[in-house]
A and B are shown apart, each in its own frame.
Chain A
Amino acid sequence: MKIVFTAKGENWDSPMDPRFGRMDMLVVYDEDSDKLEAIPNNETEMMEHGAGLQTAQKVLDLNPDIIITGNGAGQKALEILKRSNVKMYTGAGEMSLKEAYEAFKDGKLQAQF
Chain B
Amino acid sequence: MKVLEEDKAEEKLTIGVLTTKMKLTIASGKGGTGKTTVSANLTSYLASMGKKVVLADLDVEEPNSALFIKSDLKNTKICNKMVPVWESENCTLCGECARVCNFNAIVALPSEILVFPELCHSCYACSELCPTNSLPMNPIKIGEIKEYEAENFSFVEGRLDLGQEMAVPLIAQTIEYTDENFKEHIKIFDAPPGTSCPVIEASRGSDFVLLITEATPFGLNDLKLAAQTMRVLKQNFGVIINRDGIGDENVQRYCQDENIPIVTKIKNDKEVAKLYSKGELIYPKISHFKNSLDEIVEFIGGIK
Contacts and interface: CB of A to CB of B under 8 A. Distances in A.
Interface residues of B, number: 12
A50 B103 contact: yes
Nearest to B109: A83
A106 to B, nearest CB: 33
A53 B104 contact: yes
B107 interface: yes
Given A54-B104, A80-B109, A83-B109, A49 B165 contact: yes
A113 to B, nearest CB: 17
A47 B165 CA distance: 14
Contact of B116 (A48, A50, A60, A83): A50
Contacts of B125: none
By size class, the interface of chain A is: 10 to 19
Interface in B94-126: 103-105, 107, 109, 112, 114, 116, 118-119
Contacts of B112: 83
B24 to A, nearest CB: 28
A79 interface: yes
A50 B109 contact: no
Nearest to B112: A83
B6 to A, nearest CB: 39
Q: A interface, by DSSP: helix, strand, loop or mixed?
A: helix
Contact of A79 (B105, B114, B196): B114
B107 A49 contact: no
A53 B107 contact: yes
B192 to A, nearest CB: 15
A57 interface: yes
A49 B118 CA distance: 10
B116 A53 contact: yes
B168 to A, nearest CB: 12
Interface string A34-76: 0000000000000111110110110010000000000000001
A83 B114 CA distance: 11
Contacts of A79: 114
B201 to A, nearest CB: 15
Given A50-B103, A53-B119, A80-B109, 16 more contacts: A47-B104, A49-B104, A49-B119, A50-B104, A50-B105, A50-B119, A51-B104, A53-B104, A53-B116, A54-B104, A56-B107, A76-B116, A79-B114, A80-B107, A83-B109, A83-B112
19 contacts: A48-B196, A49-B104, A50-B103, A50-B104, A50-B116, A51-B104, A53-B104, A53-B107, A53-B116, A53-B119, A54-B104, A56-B107, A57-B107, A60-B109, A76-B116, A76-B118, A79-B114, A80-B107, A80-B109
